[in-house]
Amino acid sequence: MPKPPAVPKSAAARKRPPQRRAAPDAALADSGKAARSRRTQARILDAAEELFSHHGIYGVSIRDIADRAGVDTALLHYHFANKDGIYEAVMLRRAGDVNEARKRAMDDYARKSGGKPSIEGIVRAYMQPVFERLRTGGRGFNNYAALIALANNSALWGGGTVKEYFDPAVQRLVDLLRLALPKAREEDLYWGYQFLSGALTLSYSRNARIEGLSHGRCRANDYAAIEPRLVAWCAAGLRALGACR
Amino acid sequence: MPKPPAVPKSAAARKRPPQRRAAPDAALADSGKAARSRRTQARILDAAEELFSHHGIYGVSIRDIADRAGVDTALLHYHFANKDGIYEAVMLRRAGDVNEARKRAMDDYARKSGGKPSIEGIVRAYMQPVFERLRTGGRGFNNYAALIALANNSALWGGGTVKEYFDPAVQRLVDLLRLALPKAREEDLYWGYQFLSGALTLSYSRNARIEGLSHGRCRANDYAAIEPRLVAWCAAGLRALGACR
DNA sequence: ATTATCTATAGATCTATAGATAATGC
DNA sequence: ATTATCTATAGATCTATAGATAATGC
């Protein structure tokens, strides 16, 4: 976080204690050189994910990440070439899992509902994998989600390969909605997705404004409260959009 | 944008031509030292607004802003002390105007509708001043809106004094919604605002993802298409939230 | 022999300030 | 006399790489 360098780091403070090659942890079943490398990379990505999600990609320096991961900056260049490489690796690490789960959930629901899926059912299936991971995926997934929210409201989104993971799940969502809302205009289905997406991402962003506004009645991370309300909200909105032609 | 220093700026390239004190523009009615100072500050804020909205506060250096404004970095420190000072000045410059307009629009609508405001009417009144400025306020306001969208999905929001401008308009909105939805739970009014806010800010963010997803059917800045749809969407959602107790 | 990691450092860039200078205001 | 602006520069920080070293793999 090169930002408000709280205390301008003096050359002395900057100096990390010389790092001794940590002895390979014998207790770890998954030992060996390759495994150790993978664990190091994961530590680097965990650190980057956390820092990026709080400060954005330009609010974090390679050294910040290295310090938090407990390694030298040179190692980050070795594994990921440069900062963009780290950012992309962070974005991609969880992209496949969550979007495969979305497609699976929508496919399952489509099958289960026969030819008559409900809007609520479709929206719920699309969102459920994310909310599930927000509740049970620990700090890592919550950091990732906040980072996605940040990217979603910026010009950064289209940049990388992320959309190749996210877009197919969205298209599957729109395809199902088209079935359930046969009278809706094609463009309204996409506007509907856009509004849904905005409300969803704000819900797992780092913005906790609602807590102050509501005088503590709502907690920003109360996903048990958010999920059913957001499903109801989006379903009603989609129905209104689909009807007003 | 200190990021991908496209071409690493050499010391030579960095050197700006020595800046001669531009002769005061005699054609300008608004001359005089103070006026000139105000115009310079406005140029600096315009540059900062544009750059911040594209790259975020940490993706822009003071020198980037100075270069775009055509002044030296020392002048930015003279007028705004430091980068945070510039950022806050940018955020506050248009905050009063748009939120006063919101409150006025809601007050006018409340009066006009007697004791029976409709959800659509309330939501429209809240959003209208923003959409109006997006359409007619030129590049400056569009940059500002994109910056607000960026801040809204990050941890930066609460930081400054911005919320003192934005929060009262939100509370007025919630107060009117409470009248129109007497059966709604108090917390649902705030969740409703959160979802509305997410959909609204994404709509004026720099994310143009919808254009690709919809194969060109929707244009990200087509506010004439967005405004009525978003009003219908949010009204339906609020009604659903307010009813499901 | 190869791979993962650390040491040391070059070169660029950033923020911030001290001090000079030119215009305006009184 | 004051204010707005420019010149020059200090000091910190950033990214990236060359080269050394220690562990693993064959």
B147 touches chain A (CB under 8 A): no
Closest CA to B55 of A87, A155, A150, A83: A155
Minimum CA–C1' distance nucleotide for A18: C6
Confidence of residue B80 (pLDDT cuts 50, 70, 90): very high
pLDDT in tens, B141-185: 999 999 999 999 888 775 678 889 999 999 999 999 999 999 999
Q: What is the mean pLDDT of chain B?
A: 88
Interface with chain A: mutation pick from B233, B234, B238, B239, highest number of A CBs within 10 Å: B233
* Chain-chain contact of A187 with B59 (C-beta, under 8 angstroms): no
The secondary structure of B199-210 as a DSSP string is: HHHHHTSS--HH
- From chain B, the residues in CB contact with A158 under 8 A are 208-209, 212
DSSP A168: H
Q: For A185, name the nearest residue in chain B, comparing CA atoms only.
A: B217
B55 close contact with A: CB closer than 8 A: yes
Q: Which of B193, B199, B192, B206 is nearest to B227 (CA)?
A: B199
User: Per the structure block, which two tokens stand in for A40?
Assistant: 């190091």
What does the domain layout of chain B look like in residue ranges? 27-92, 94-243
Q: Which residues of chain A neighbour B238 with C-beta distances below 8 Å? A: 233
Range from A10-19, A181-190, A228-237 carrying the lowest mean pLDDT: A10-19
* Dist. CA A66–CA A135, nearest whole Å: 28
Q: Is the CB of A58 under 7 A from strand C?
A: no
Q: Which residue is nearest to nucleotide D7 (CA to C1')?
A: B18
Q: Distance between CA atoms of B11 and A51, rounded to whole angstroms?
A: 31
The pLDDT, as a whole number, for residue B245 is 52
**How many residues in total does chain B contain?**
245
- Give chain B positions within 8 Å (CB) of A2: 58
**Could you give the CA distance from residue B134 to residue B121 in angstroms, rounded to a whole number?**
20
CA distance B81 to B123: 39
Quick check: A218 contacting B, CB < 8 Å? yes
pLDDT at B155: 82
CA A216 to CA B23: how far, in whole Å? 56
Same fold, B27-92 and B94-243: no
Structure tokens at A179: 């079935």
Backbone angles phi, psi at B208, to 5 degrees: -105, 25
Confidence of residue B37 (pLDDT cuts 50, 70, 90): confident
Contact A239/B at CB under 8 A? yes
Contacts by residues A20-23 (CB-CB < 8 Å, ≥ 24 positions apart)? none
Listed range (A187-201, B8-22, B37-51, B77-91) with the worst mean pLDDT? B8-22
Beta-carbon-side half-sphere exposure of residue B2 (alpha carbons within 13 Å): 14
Instruction: Label residues A68-87 b or e (16+ Cβ within 10 Å = b).
Output: bbebeeebbeebbeebeebb
The C-alpha atoms of residue A87 and residue B9 are separated, in whole angstroms, by: 23
Write the DSSP string, B118-178. Answer: -HHHHHHHHHHHHHHHHHHSHHHHHHHHHHHHHHHTSTTGGGSSHHHHHHHHHHHHHHHHH
**For residue A54, what is the nearest residue in chain B, using CA coordinates?**
B155
Chain C footprint bases within 7 A of protein beta carbons:
3-8, 12-19, 22-25
Measured distance CA(B76)–CA(A238) in Å, rounded: 48
Cα B231 versus chain centre, distance: 19
pLDDT mean over B34-63: 94
- A106-161 confidence digits (pLDDT tens): 999 999 998 899 999 999 999 999 999 999 989 999 999 999 999 998 887 756 68
CA atoms of B62 and B52, how far apart (whole Å): 11
pLDDT in the model for residue A159: 62
Q: What is the C-alpha to C-alpha distance for residues B133 and B139, in angstroms, rounded to an integer?
A: 10
What is the predicted pLDDT for the residue at B24? 44
More confident call, B202 vs A155 = B202
Gap from B70 CA to C21 C1', Å: 19
**CA-to-C1' span, B76 to D6 (A):** 12
Comparing B36 with B16, which gets the higher pLDDT? B36
Higher local confidence (pLDDT), B245 or A215: A215
Topology (CATH level 3) of domain A27-92: Arc Repressor Mutant, subunit A (1.10.10)
Residue A192: which of A210, A176, A213, A207 has the closest Cα?
A176
User: What fold does the segment set B94-243 form as a domain?
Assistant: Tetracycline Repressor; domain 2 (1.10.357)
Of chain A residues 25-54, which have a CB less than 8 A from chain B?
54
Look at the block and give the residue holding tokens 């204690």: A17
Please list every residue in chain A whose beta carbon sits closer than 8 Å to the beta carbon of residue B191: 210, 218, 225-226, 229, 233
pLDDT of residue A1: 39
C12 C1' – B9 CA distance, angstroms? 8
Contacts of A141 (CB under 8 A, 6+ apart): A94, A133, A134
Q: Is B156 in contact with B245 (CB distance < 8 Å)? A: no
pLDDT for position B137: 87
- Cβ within 7 Å of nucleic strand D, residues: A 2, 5, 8-11, 13-14, 21, 23-24, 31-34, 36, 61-64, 73-74, 77, 81-83; B 18-22, 33-34, 36-37, 40-41, 71-75, 78-79
Q: Token digits for B45?
A: 């804020």
Give residue B214's pLDDT: 98
Tell which phi-psi region holds residue A70, choosing left (phi > 0), alpha (psi between -120 and 50) or beta. left
In the three-class reduction of DSSP (H, G, I as helix; E, B as strand; rest coil), residue B4 is classed as coil
Comparing A22-26, A47-51, B235-239, the range with the smallest average pLDDT is: A22-26
Asked if residue A58 lies in contact with residue A52, where contact means CB atoms within 8 angstroms, the answer is no
Query: A68-90 pLDDT, tens per residue?
Result: 999 999 999 999 999 999 999 99
For the stretch A7-45, pLDDT in tens is 334 433 444 444 545 444 444 445 687 888 899 999 999
Judged by CB atoms closer than 8 Å, whether chains meet at A187 and B54 is answered as no
Instruction: Give the pLDDT of residue A240.
Output: 97
* B213·A3 Cβ contact <8 A: no
Q: Calculate what percentage of chain A has a pLDDT beyond 70.
A: 85
pLDDT tens column, B99-139: 999 999 999 999 999 889 999 999 999 999 999 999 998 99
Q: How sure is the predictor about B217, in pLDDT bands with cuts at 50, 70 and 90?
A: very high
Nearest 5°: the CA angle A222, A226, A231 is 160
| CB neighbour class for B188 (10 Å; exposed up to 12, middle 13-18, buried from 19) | buried
Amino acid letter, residue A30? D
What is the spatial distance between Cα A37 and Cα A171, in angstroms, rounded to a whole number?
Answer: 37
Task: State the nearest Cα–Cα gap between A34 and chain B, in angstroms.
Answer: 31
Residues of B with Cβ-Cβ distance to A202 under 8 angstroms: 152-153, 194-195, 197-198, 201-202
- Crossing angle of the two packed helices B62-69 and B33-55, in degrees rounded to 10: 130
